Chains A and B, each alone.
Chain A
């Protein structure tokens, strides 16, 4: 088991003919992921070739989904067109859209989020590394890799990872793998202020997944998503959870405006979030090098095996 995606998940790549999308489509194919279609408007009928694999390219997401049975799309479309690409996935009735694109205007995401309210499609991202459910092959191949994460650092196992930051996700995954443990699924929800899936959404999925035995929750300064997740964990989650918050030394006010601090409340800073984590029974990683160890401490305290 895993969350969101499994090795059987069929995926579409929007923007497969671009350099970035194409490169990562190839890496996903190498990982063993079922990349079954590409979408580039105007290039329908062409194929994307990698080794002996020929992936059909379609003009629209709806066509690609109908022809291949794909239920998930990865979006590598440039920022001015990315909001449109997300909405195309919603209109096609996909289960999941994972938007890698960095630099989408906030207003576009505000509108997308409003339009998606009540829709069947879940959005992960934007500005995220994607989602990985490791496989059982060498270097965790045979799994489902959506996005841009390095596949080989994963190992199939029972730790769920959720993070806003790409490279911190890799850091946590790598530490877990180095301890001889593995991941059920690793989810990068993205660093933008308006995103599709929150920490809490992912935590709820991990909590319900019988294959996930422990969770690493990685956050940053700004907003209150980590606090919301922590409070829910305290009330509802029995699984061991370790947490890390980046940005304890970030200069105040560099990104947040004057009034931002008011609306965000007093739970914005790393210090405040760490305090809430502790209060909610989350084992806090002292440094980013301590994330896997923190989870092991939490698991030991609860008498839970992560093997």
Chain B
């Protein structure tokens, strides 16, 4: 689960991670009140959307840049007015862009040097890894590719926690000394505490900056959380912004369905993440284009399958449906009844190819045949994939 920068900065404040003073506003009426809390002078205006690349983004009204430096608070207020309520398109939003519903004002900082700092899970060692670099404010993938020697990593032993020597390793790597080193050490320790205690999946500060007076500040913040751990963090769940999510994905999550919208025209309804991914792959292999990833999971009820069909059909691009079920946990007959109910309930006109295998498959296939509906049966995944690709072509 992702949160906005201003929410991440509020969490930073709680855990003692210094960042420039800031205030968020959700409407033009509240700009004055937000700006009042900030000092006079240079101010940053930052559009709050979950996607990256905001600074280089373009609003659909033609205004350039979702992050702006302003010399005065008065300028900041004016610029914020051009952003709020407008749709920002960045390299990560897709062509549709995202509506800016919140603007974040921060006191602009004097930057001495920019760095990079992130904490995430390292899958190979099954430990949290802290990644730091002397190259901040740029794409870290690029740094990793071109100058890997400028990236420093420490792997934290979860039994002991972050050790002082590891913090020192990072500071020496970054070349920080004196007050800067002391402040950065405290920031890194506190950021790690936040990562660990909030069950974060990733915390990224890009850039982390030093100022001429020795401060170390998190200038930007990107934070996401482990969805499996949200049950024990109601305070994090409260930060979820449904405006940032695809309505179909929100609807799917209500039924505990894993759905991701794609841009093709063949919808998939599959059980199991691996099979769902490879169903998309096999559609592509035979020249089709998948419209979505959809894993109905184990133990799906009839209601769940009906809900899955409705979500799929909410996508106007869909021209055919491929149902691919290998019932291990799932009873194929439950799926079959769900398919029949859904097709009847929504008056489905699109071609549907069903491939059922596994638990109680004979009963499931009998249910499909007895329904009298025009459902095409596929024997294997390859057979079914070729049939649906042909039907929508």
Check A248 against B131 for contact (C-beta < 8 Å).
Answer: no
Check A166 against B285 for contact (C-beta < 8 Å).
Answer: no
B320 within 8 A of A: no
Question: Known contacts A171-B326, A259-B120, A262-B144: does B153 contact A289 (CB below 8 Å)?
Answer: no
B272 within 8 A of A: yes
* Binding-face segment, A6-14, A51-59, A91-99, A102-110: A102-110
B118: which A residues are within 8 A, CB to CB?
A: 258-259
Check A105 against B199 for contact (C-beta < 8 Å).
Answer: yes
* CB contact between B275 and one of A20, A149, A165 (< 8 Å): that residue: A165
* CB contact between A193 and one of B121, B158, B283, B299 (< 8 Å): that residue: B121
B41: which A residues are within 8 A, CB to CB?
A: none
* CB contact between B226 and one of A106, A246, A260 (< 8 Å): that residue: A106
B380: which A residues are within 8 A, CB to CB?
A: 289
Check B285 against A287 for contact (C-beta < 8 Å).
Answer: yes
A102: which B residues are within 8 A, CB to CB?
A: 298
B314 within 8 A of A: no
B247 within 8 A of A: no
Check B228 against A258 for contact (C-beta < 8 Å).
Answer: no
Q: In the complex, what's the smallest C-beta–C-beta distance from B332 to chain A, in angstroms?
A: 10
Question: Known contacts A107-B229, A224-B124: does B278 contact A148 (CB below 8 Å)?
Answer: no
Question: Known contacts A110-B128, A264-B123: does B358 contact A150 (CB below 8 Å)?
Answer: yes
Interface residues of B in 189-246 (CB under 8 A from A): 196, 199, 201-202, 204, 222, 224, 226, 228-229, 231-232
Interface residues of B in 145-174 (CB under 8 A from A): 151, 153, 157-159
Question: Known contacts A104-B228, A167-B328, A257-B224: does B281 contact A246 (CB below 8 Å)?
Answer: yes
Q: In the complex, what's the smallest C-beta–C-beta distance from B117 to chain A, in angstroms?
A: 10
Check A167 against B153 for contact (C-beta < 8 Å).
Answer: no
Q: In the complex, what's the smallest C-beta–C-beta distance from A126 to chain B, in angstroms?
A: 10
A113 within 8 A of B: yes
Which residue on chain B has the smallest CB distance to residue A193? Answer: B123
Which residue on chain B has the smallest CB distance to residue A175? Answer: B380
A66 within 8 A of B: no
Given A113-B126, A148-B328: 9 more A-B contacts, CB < 8 Å: A110-B158, A129-B328, A193-B123, A246-B274, A249-B283, A249-B290, A254-B260, A260-B120, A290-B382
- Sorted nearest first, the 6 A-B pairs with minimum C-beta distance are A165-B274, A167-B272, A289-B382, A105-B229, A167-B275, A168-B274
